[in-house]
Amino acid sequence: MGIHRVGFGTAADVRVAPAPTEGTWAGTWVGRTVASAAHGHDAGAVVTVAPDTPCSEADERARVHGVRHLFVVENEKLVGIICRCDLYPEPDPHEEVSTRMSSNVYALDPAATLGEAAAAMKTLGVGCLPVVHHERPVGLVTRGDLRRAGVPEPELGAQCCLECGSVHGVRTDAHSGLEYCLDCIDLFTAMGNDYGEGD
């Protein structure tokens, strides 16, 4: 539990190894790529909520701003992160964000590079990394940001949906071990199919 700094250097709480084939993108400072947070308001890709925010309200806020990830902040300090994928299955009407958020968060220092971000995502199996300065969230790096910056797909470590190829909200079926995205799971469920089970 808590915020863990990731990176190549000895000051990181969680050290990751550089990719064996780094490109020109690897040394780029994350500040050139991340969306920045501005006083708790949407700043292009960063939206914050309080831990006691109802999940339904958080989901609507994410939809309105067109984002998948929300920072959970208390007294301006990052205490967790929640993805719209974490709101599956649908929460109870009064369920709060604190019940679904990840409170064990891996974060980047503002001086980190895209190489550190990519290595951390691949090693840790996460799709986004908050950028934190003195416990306050100042930005966010996602796999999509790294793709747009030229990071090769194998360096990102994303799981792909076996049905549609999406890398968003992919879950491993507990019975079969097969990987499907939440959209396909919803579709299978609506069709009454027992997804993830072979013949």
Task: Identify whether residues 15 and 60 lie together within a single domain.
Answer: yes
Task: Identify whether residues 88 and 147 lie together within a single domain.
Answer: yes
Give, for all 199 residues of the chain, the pLDDT tens digit: 799 999 998 989 999 998 776 678 888 888 766 655 443 433 445 789 999 999 999 999 998 988 888 999 999 899 999 988 888 788 898 999 999 999 999 999 988 999 999 999 989 988 889 999 888 888 999 888 888 888 887 788 777 788 888 877 777 765 667 888 777 877 777 777 655 544 3
Q: What is the pTM of this model?
A: 0.75
CATH code assigned at 37: 3.10.580.10
Task: Identify whether residues 86 and 173 lie together within a single domain.
Answer: no
Task: Please give the Cα distance from 91 to 190 (Å, whole number).
Answer: 18
Which residue bears the tokens 């690897």?
Answer: 26
Task: Identify whether residues 142 and 188 lie together within a single domain.
Answer: no
CB 98 within 8 A of CB 14: no
Q: Which domain holds residue 62?
A: 2-155
Please count the structural domains in the chain: 2
Task: Identify whether residues 39 and 127 lie together within a single domain.
Answer: yes
Task: Identify whether residues 95 and 149 lie together within a single domain.
Answer: yes
Task: Identify whether residues 172 and 117 lie together within a single domain.
Answer: no
Task: Please give the Cα distance from 36 to 43 (Å, whole number).
Answer: 6
